[in-house]
Amino acid sequence: MAKCFRVNIDACWPVAVSLSALLLFSVDVFSQPDRPKYFPKKTDFMATLPRKENVWIFILAGQSNMAGRGFVEPQDTMPNSRILTINAANQIIIAKEPLHFYEPNLTGLDCGHSFANRLLRNLNMEITILLLPVAVGGSSSNQWLGDSLHRNVRLMSNFKERVEATRDYGIIKGILWHQGESDADSRNVAGYQLRLEKIFNQFRTYCGNPYLPILIGELGSFSENQSQWNLINEAIHQYGATDKNSIVISTGDLKPKADKIHFNSEGQRSMGRRMAEEFLEFSKL
């Protein structure tokens, strides 16, 4: 049986935001001082881990709607010893939202915890889920392919390093991906499908599984730039039609925050549940 112990944690450091992005973030960050109101005050470190074959690893990758911008509520921080994640030092901890730690002044609720909770309802009691957060807000597909240093994170290298750091703890079962807002313009929409293919090929190579399932969330239907977002969604579906190990997740009915860029809290939870249900169906579990 896995055991854990508690320690206090209060790590937080400033994140630089470009002037072009400042307006987009102002509604959610600077006018909402209660954003971290329900962030957990303690971290539960794992003293012992389940056997490797009983730990299923899922990687959360992409940009801000995967990194999480939803408002964290008490229900999102309820600990479950069968849902694990990592901290910045790659230590295994009990998962509580927010999971991502790269942008502490911006991060909020993502879809990971709801994904794991829904998945566990259909899994054997011996199975534990390890969520591996590697998403960074504002990152474009070209930046992922170029292994760019973005918001102090070397994107593809970080993906590889986190995979290597946790490989001995469990079996990588899938990737949850949400990205595309940064590519939604006339210059970058063209070629997005091909860039997705290259990114996912690289992910699968690092994970050692050319058939690794990838769950791809659509962009929302609430943008002030909806025509370009729709083109990204078309490219996502076109890619999905070519990759039998990818699953496109519908998000058209999910609601936004006031910025009309990010899913609200319930939207994040719904996306997580949908990803879990699609994975269960795909895997015939």
- Does residue 14 lie within any of the structural domains? no
115, 210, 261 from 96: Cα distances, Å: 13, 30, 24
Express each pLDDT in 103-128 by its tens digit.
999 999 999 999 999 999 999 999 99
- Does residue 225 lie within any of the structural domains? yes
Note down the domain range covering 151.
35-283
The structural domain count of the chain equals 1
Express each pLDDT in 222-275 by its tens digit.
999 999 999 999 999 999 999 999 999 999 999 999 999 999 999 999 999 999
Residue 135 pLDDT greater than 80, yes or no: yes
Mean predicted confidence (pLDDT) in 159-170: 97
Mean predicted confidence (pLDDT) in 9-21: 34
Q: Look-up: residue for tokens 């049986």? A: 1
- Does residue 114 lie within any of the structural domains? yes
- Does residue 58 lie within any of the structural domains? yes
- Does residue 9 lie within any of the structural domains? no
- Does residue 40 lie within any of the structural domains? yes
- Return d(Cα 113, Cα 97) in angstroms, integer: 7
CATH number of the domain encompassing residue 195: 3.40.50.1110
- Does residue 5 lie within any of the structural domains? no
Provide the pLDDT confidence category of residue 47 given band limits of 50, 70 and 90.
confident
- Does residue 21 lie within any of the structural domains? no
